[in-house]
């Protein structure tokens, strides 16, 4: 018997799932009209060379989802589901789509298509791409062991939205000992990394058209994020001692700085400039984001305390990440927020 519609399995996954997809496409593309009887399970199984139980499982699922209607003694029929929508077969600019937001248009315009190379470029003899720290191979086995230990004490209820309390307490202890920053667990927000911190700050602190100051040169990802949120990004020059406070604009909503290890020059901002930077923020009611991405890595001597340790007016948002101290795949960082935020 000839099948009433051409059915072709795509070879991806279990056969009953392939059959479900094929029948859905036939229904949505109107190749199977509403009220049409689908082939008997035995006949379709023989036609496709698959088990009858596979066909029955597919029919049962399609009935549960409302694509088919079963009639006792008569078989299965295509349900009346209203206007059919054919799957999109085009891509790129010709694909049908709902209008994008202005935010999405800015994001697309600012995306240059480049990606930070990962394992696909490990065969290079010299990889000068920034943001790829050398990970100690011995860390892998230790990390697996600690993951197993942590799993034994895992809690399955919804966690605190700010992050696990125990982790935030440990972050406070670490910052006090190593970065000179005094904070309470209530001031810590655990995040996925620096870029999420920039995005959150943009959403909470900025309006479209607000001025954001970045060091020049700076981390490209920061410019992309703030520009996507509609900020006017302005660069401020850097010399051998880091950002030059005298070059700061009279008014700005926010400034992103890397005082402990300027990116990418490595300059260390001296104490006098740090104080001047804080005074600028207080006078202009601006926010400072301190990106301490690897501030404690020093070739000689102890690292300077973070800029946040000098902040007595609640103007500094401190960002830390484990990408360099542990490994990037952890995707974990934190923000230290002033009480007002």
2: confidence class by pLDDT, cuts 50, 70, 90: very low
d(CA 39, CA 19): 13
Residue ranges covered by each domain of the chain: 15-78, 161-336
Q: Give 15-78's CATH code, choosing from 3.40.50.2000, 3.30.870.10, 1.10.10.10, 1.10.3720.10.
A: 1.10.10.10
Cβ neighbours around 148 below 10 Å, total: 9
Percent of the chain residues past pLDDT 90, beyond the cut: 52
Determine which of 132-141, 178-187, 228-237, 251-260 has the lowest per-residue pLDDT on average. 132-141
1: confidence class by pLDDT, cuts 50, 70, 90: very low
The per-residue pLDDT for range 142-154, each reduced to its tens digit, is: 888 988 898 888 8
* Burial tier of 295 (Cβ tally within 10 Å: 0-12, 13-18, 19+): buried
CATH topology of domain 161-336: 3.40.640
HEC sequence for 64-109: HCCCEEEECCCEEEECCCCCCCCCCCCCHHHCCCCCCCHHHHHHHH
Structure tokens at 219: 């981390």
pTM over 0.85: no
The distance from CA 78 to its chain's CA centroid, rounded to whole angstroms, is 41
Helices (H) and strands (E) counted in the chain, each on its own, are 9, 10
Structure tokens at 256: 């992103």
Determine which of 56-70, 187-201, 202-216, 226-240 has the lowest per-residue pLDDT on average. 56-70
Determine which of 48-57, 116-125, 314-323, 328-337 has the lowest per-residue pLDDT on average. 116-125
| Range with the largest mean pLDDT of 78-92, 143-157, 183-197, 301-315 | 183-197
The answer to whether the CB of 7 falls within 8 A of the CB of 23 is yes
The per-residue pLDDT for range 242-262, each reduced to its tens digit, is: 999 999 999 999 999 999 989
d(CA 214, CA 237): 9
Percent of the chain residues past pLDDT 70, beyond the cut: 89
């Amino acid at each position: 018997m000839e099948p009433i519609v051409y059915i072709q399995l795509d070879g991806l996954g279990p056969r009953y799932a392939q059959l479900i997809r094929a029948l859905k496409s036939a229904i949505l593309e109107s190749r199977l009209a509403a009220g049409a009887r689908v082939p008997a399970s035995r006949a379709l199984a023989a036609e496709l060379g698959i088990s009858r139980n596979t066909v029955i499982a597919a029919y049962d699922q399609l009935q549960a989802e409302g694509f088919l209607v079963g009639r006792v003694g008569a078989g299965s029929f295509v349900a009346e589901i209203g206007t059919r929508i054919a799957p999109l077969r085009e891509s790129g600019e010709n694909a049908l789509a709902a209008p994008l937001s202005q935010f999405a248009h800015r994001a697309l315009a600012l995306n240059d298509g480049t990606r930070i190379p990962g394992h696909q470029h490990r065969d290079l003899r010299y990889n000068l791409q920034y943001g790829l720290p050398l990970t100690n191979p011995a860390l892998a086995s230790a990390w697996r062991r600690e993951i197993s230990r942590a799993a034994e004490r895992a809690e399955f209820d919804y966690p605190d939205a700010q992050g696990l309390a125990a982790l935030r307490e440990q972050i406070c202890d670490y910052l006090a000992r190593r970065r000179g920053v005094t904070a309470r667990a209530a001031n810590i927000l655990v995040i996925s990394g620096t870029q999420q911190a920039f995005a959150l700050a943009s959403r909470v602190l900025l309006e479209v058209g607000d001025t954001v100051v970045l060091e020049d040169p700076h981390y490209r990802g920061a410019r992309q994020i703030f520009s996507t949120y509609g900020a006017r990004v302005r660069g401020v020059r850097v010399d051998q001692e880091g950002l030059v406070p005298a070059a700061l604009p009279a008014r700005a909503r926010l400034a992103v700085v890397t005082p402990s290890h300027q990116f990418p020059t490595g300059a260390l901002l001296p104490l006098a400039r740090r104080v001047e930077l804080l005074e600028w923020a207080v006078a202009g009611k601006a926010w400072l984001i301190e990106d301490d991405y690897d501030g404690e890595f020093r070739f000689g001597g102890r690292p300077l305390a973070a800029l946040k340790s000098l902040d007595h007016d609640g103007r500094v948002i401190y960002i830390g990440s484990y990408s360099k101290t542990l490994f990037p795949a952890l995707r974990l960082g934190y923000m230290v927020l002033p009480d007002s935020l």
